């Protein structure tokens, strides 16, 4: 299949994250259970960012970049929601007559999941540029690659990374003290 003709554009992670509130509202209409919206939204964001990094995003002629990103994200959400609904962990049901000791433990610690979501929310609360630096390096890019991708000097990227790590460490430690 050939790639449709369209203008190549740089889509930042911040642009994708900006679309997530609307995507999260739409997921229940796509059949995702309310309690699973956070997990599905995370999978959508990861899928979208991978597609951007692989060069699979393009803008059709006559459509603005913001509108193209929005349409594209809705398409990804729709496809990911259908995969999410059909996945094994969504189809598994526990018969109501079974005692809890007969139900297999799937190995997921609820406290760990809550801590991970708290950390993810802390990352999403960061300003756009530091958040993008943090997520790019967290995705495995070196500082040099991150600087090239963002069009910033390496020193600026290193500074953002150092400050953002300190900010997150402080924020997450404050959350531990509240417990």
Is 67 a residue whose pLDDT tops 50?
yes
> Would you state the pLDDT for residue 177?
47
Q: Cα Rg for the chain, rounded, in angstroms?
A: 19
Is 2 a residue whose pLDDT tops 60?
no
Confidence of residue 178 (pLDDT cuts 50, 70, 90): very low
Q: What is the pLDDT of residues 12-48, one digit of tens each?
A: 888 899 999 999 999 888 888 887 888 889 989 998 9
Q: What is the pLDDT of residues 79-125, one digit of tens each?
A: 888 877 666 555 554 545 444 444 445 555 666 777 777 888 888 88
> Would you state the pLDDT for residue 106?
54
Which is more confident, 154 or 106?
A: 154
Instruction: Give the pair of three-digit tokens for residue 2.
Output: 């050939």
Question: What's the pTM value of the predicted model, to 2 decimals?
Answer: 0.47
Instruction: Give the pair of three-digit tokens for residue 140.
Output: 């495995």
> Would you state the pLDDT for residue 135?
84
> Would you state the pLDDT for residue 21?
92
What's 71-130 look like in SS3?
Answer: HHHHHHHHHHHHHHHHCHHHHCCCCCCCCHHHCCCCCCCHHHHHHHHHHHHHHHCCCHHH
Task: Count CB neighbours of 146 within 10 A.
Answer: 22
Mean pLDDT (whole number) for 153-165: 91
Which is more confident, 6 or 174?
A: 174
In order of 5, 130, 145, 167, the CA distances from 125 in angstroms are 36, 10, 24, 11
> Would you state the pLDDT for residue 23?
92
CA-CA distance, 123 to 125, in Å (whole number)? 5
Q: Phi and psi of 7, rounded to 5°?
A: -80, 130
């Amino acid at each position: 299949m050939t790639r449709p003709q369209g203008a190549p554009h740089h889509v930042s992670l911040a642009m994708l994250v900006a679309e997530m509130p609307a995507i999260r509202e739409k997921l229940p209409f796509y059949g995702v259970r309310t309690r699973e919206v956070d997990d599905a939204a995370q999978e959508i964001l990861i899928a979208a960012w991978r597609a951007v990094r692989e060069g699979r995003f393009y803008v059709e002629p006559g459509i603005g970049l913001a509108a193209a990103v929005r349409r594209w994200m809705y398409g990804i959400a729709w496809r990911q929601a259908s995969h999410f609904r059909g996945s094994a962990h969504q189809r598994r049901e526990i018969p109501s007559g079974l005692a809890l000791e007969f139900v297999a433990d799937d190995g997921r610690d609820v406290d760990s999941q809550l801590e991970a979501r708290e950390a993810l929310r802390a990352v999403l609360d960061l300003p756009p540029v530091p958040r993008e630096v943090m997520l790019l390096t967290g995705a495995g890019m070196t500082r040099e690659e991150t600087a090239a991708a963002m069009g910033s000097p390496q020193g600026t990227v290193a500074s953002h990374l150092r400050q953002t790590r300190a900010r997150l460490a402080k924020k997450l430690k404050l959350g531990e003290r509240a417990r």
